[in-house]
Amino acid sequence: MSVDPSTDDPKATDPEWVDDILFTGRPTDVCLRLPDPVDRGALHRLVTEAQTRLADAGLRPGGAAALRMPPSLAYVVNLLATWRSGAQAILLDHRLTDHEVGRALERLTPQVVVAPVRSGGGALRVFVDVTEGVTPYADRPAVSGHAVIQLSSGSTGPSKVIGRTAADLVAEVYRYTRIDGVALPGERIILLPSMVHVLGLVGGLLYGLHAGVELVPPERLSGDAVLAAIAAGDTPATVLGVPFHIGLIASTRPDRPLPQFKRMTTGGELVPAAVARAFADRFGVPLGNMYGMTEVGVIGTDLYGRHRPSIAPAPGIEVRAVAGELWVSCPASPYVGLTDPTRWSDGWLHTRDAGTVDADTGLVTVRGRLDSQVSVGGMKVDLTEVEATVAELPGVAAAVVVWDDGITAYVQPDGPLSEEVLDKLLAERLAGYKRPHTLRLLDQLPRTTTGKLVRSTDALRTAATS
C-alpha cells in the first residue's frame, strides 16, 4: 500500500502503512544506535518475532496492546509489532503509578499489556536494557479506531485520553519532511524526549525511520553524554529535546570542537530569549523552537531562531486566532469518549493558548495560556509576562507564576537566593500591580513526565509544603 496523505486513509487495522512508511530503505542501513547499531533488517526481524509473541498472548487485529515500557529497543519493537498486527497501541509512561495505570487499563481495556520483567542500565540511562513480558488483559476490541492512544502530560490539569489515526500519524511524518531545518536523510538525531509522547514519538522515532535519519539516544541523561553522542559520529547531528534539556547541555563546556553539531530543537515551553542567546553563543548553533500538542503533533516551528517568539505554521496546518485564542485545524475530534465542544468543534482544535496570527506574514505568536490573564485592581495582568520576568532574573533556574488568591510565584533558585532579594529585583522590573504578592522558593519545581513545568496550583502548593 502506497500512502499519500492527501488521498489515502490508512486505518489502525490496516498494517501495511508501517512497512510503507517506516521500513523503507536498505536493510543494512543503521536506524538506531543504542549504542550498538541496529539496522533496518535486524529491526524488521525483531518486530516480526514480537508479532508472534503478541498474537500468542491474545492480541488480534482490531484489538489493543498497552505498552508500559521505559525507552528501550523493546519499546520500539513492540510498538511497531502492535501496529503491524493491525492493532491499537496504548502508550503508558513507565513513570506512571500503578493506580494511574490501573485506571487507564480499566477505561481502555487492551487485549494485552506489555511491561518489563527485567530492566537494567540505571535510572539516568536514556535507553535501558529491557526484557519484556506480555500479559493477557481483556478479550475485547479496541475502544476506538485510532492507531495510537496517548495520555496528555497534564501540566495544567488532569490528563486527557487522546487518539490519533494511522492517517494522522502518516500526515504528520510527511509534514516533518517539508519543514525547513529538520534533520536530513543520512544525518543523526540525538534523541532526548520520551517516545511515549508526541515529540519523541513522531518527531524522533517515526520521522527518523521514514526519512533515513539515524536515532542516537545518549547513553545517559547528562550534558557530557549528549556532547559525547554528538562527537561519536561524523555526520551532522540535531539535538531534539525540551527546555529542561537545554540546562543540561548549556551547563557543560565541550572539551573539543563539535563541527557535527548542527542545531538543537526544543518542543514545549518557549525558551526565554536570554537562554537562547547564551546557548547559541556557547555552541555556535541555532536553538530552534517547535510548538505542538499531543492532539495534532507539530503545529509550527522556528528552527533557525529567526522569529522568536513567533513561529511559522507547519505545512498543512492552519492556525487562526479567535477572540484571542489559537485554533488549529483538526478534521476529527482527537478525544476518546464524549467530545467537549470547548476543546474541539467543527474541525478546529481549541488550544486554550492565547495568541495572535500576523495577517501579513502568517507568523503565530503564542502568548501563554488563556487562564494566564487576570485582573488586579481593575488592571489586566498577563501572568506569562510576569513569569518570563521572574525566570530571567539572576539566580533563578526556573519559575511558575499562577493566580492563587493573588499573583504567586514559585521559584527554583540557581544558587543562593532569598525572597527579599527576589522581591527587590522584581520591584526594579515590574509595576506594583504586576508584582507577585507571594514568593515561594522550592529546591525543585514539579514537572510533568515530558519535562514541562507543572502549573496546577494544588500540585505547586503541595510541593511548597513538602
pLDDT in tens, 358-399: 999 999 999 877 777 787 866 778 888 898 889 889 889 889
Percentage of residues of the chain with pLDDT beyond 70? 93
Q: Residue 432: which pLDDT band, with cuts at 50, 70 and 90? A: confident
Q: Does residue 192 contact residue 245 with C-beta atoms inside 8 Å?
A: yes
DSSP 109-178: --SEEEEEEEEES-TTBSSBEEEEEEEE------SSS-SEEEE---SSSS--EEEE-HHHHHHHHHHHHT
pLDDT at 378: 65
pLDDT value at 8 more than 70: no
pLDDT value at 214 more than 60: yes
Q: Residue 153: which pLDDT band, with cuts at 50, 70 and 90? A: low
pLDDT at 242: 87
What does the pLDDT average to over 44-65? 97
Q: Residue 156: which pLDDT band, with cuts at 50, 70 and 90? A: very low
Tell me the domains of the chain and their CATH numbers.
Answer: 16-167 (3.40.50.980), 182-317 (3.40.50.980), 318-376 (no CATH), 381-465 (3.30.300.30)
pLDDT at 369: 77
What does the pLDDT average to over 245-254? 86
What does the pLDDT average to over 35-64? 96
pLDDT at 4: 41
pLDDT value at 204 more than 60: yes
- Chain mean pLDDT for the chain: 89
- Across the beta sheet with 407-413, what order do the strands follow? 396-403, 407-413, 438-441
pLDDT in tens, 308-365: 889 999 999 999 999 999 999 999 999 998 778 889 999 999 998 889 999 999 999 9
- Give dist(CA 147, CA 149) in Å, integer: 7
Q: Could you say which DSSP state residue 199 is in?
A: I
Per-residue b or e along 125-144, where b marks 16 or more CB atoms closer than 10 Å to that residue's CB: bbbbebebebeebbeebbbb
pLDDT at 187: 98
DSSP 245-279: HHHHHHT---SS--TTEEEEEE-SSPPPHHHHHHH
Q: Does residue 151 contact residue 157 with C-beta atoms inside 8 Å?
A: no
pLDDT in tens, 106-140: 999 999 999 999 877 665 677 888 899 999 999 99
pLDDT at 105: 94
142-156, 210-224, 291-305, 393-407 — which is least confidently predicted? 142-156
pLDDT value at 62 more than 50: yes
pLDDT at 121: 63
Distance between first and last Cα of the chain: 55
